[in-house]
Amino acid sequence: MAASRRICVYPGTFDPITRGHLDIIDRGVKLFDLLVVAVAESPGKAPLFSAQERLAMIREEVGRHRNVKVESFDSLLMDYVRNKGANIVLRGLRVMSDFEYEFQMALINRKLDPSIETVFMMTSDNYAPVSSRFIKEIARYGGDERL
Ligand code: ADP
DSSP code per residue over 36-72: EEEEE--GGG--SS-HHHHHHHHHHHHTT-TTEEEEE
pLDDT at 23: 97
Q: Is 132 a catalytic residue?
A: yes
pLDDT at 4: 81
Residue 2 lies in a domain: no
Residue 50 lies in a domain: yes
Ligand 1 — pocket residues by CB below 6 A?
12-14, 18, 20-21, 24, 91-94, 98, 123, 127, 130-132
Q: Is 42 a catalytic residue?
A: no
pLDDT at 1: 47
Which residue minimizes the CA distance to atom 16 of ligand 1?
A: 92
**CATH label of the domain that carries residue 64:** 3.40.50.620
pLDDT tens for each residue of 91-125: 999 988 889 999 999 999 999 999 999 999 999 99
Residue 88: which domain range? 7-140
Domain count, the chain: 1
Name the active-site residue from 54, 72, 91, 132: 132
Residue 145 lies in a domain: no
Residue 146 lies in a domain: no
Which residue minimizes the CA distance to atom 15 of ligand 1?
A: 92
Residue 41 lies in a domain: yes
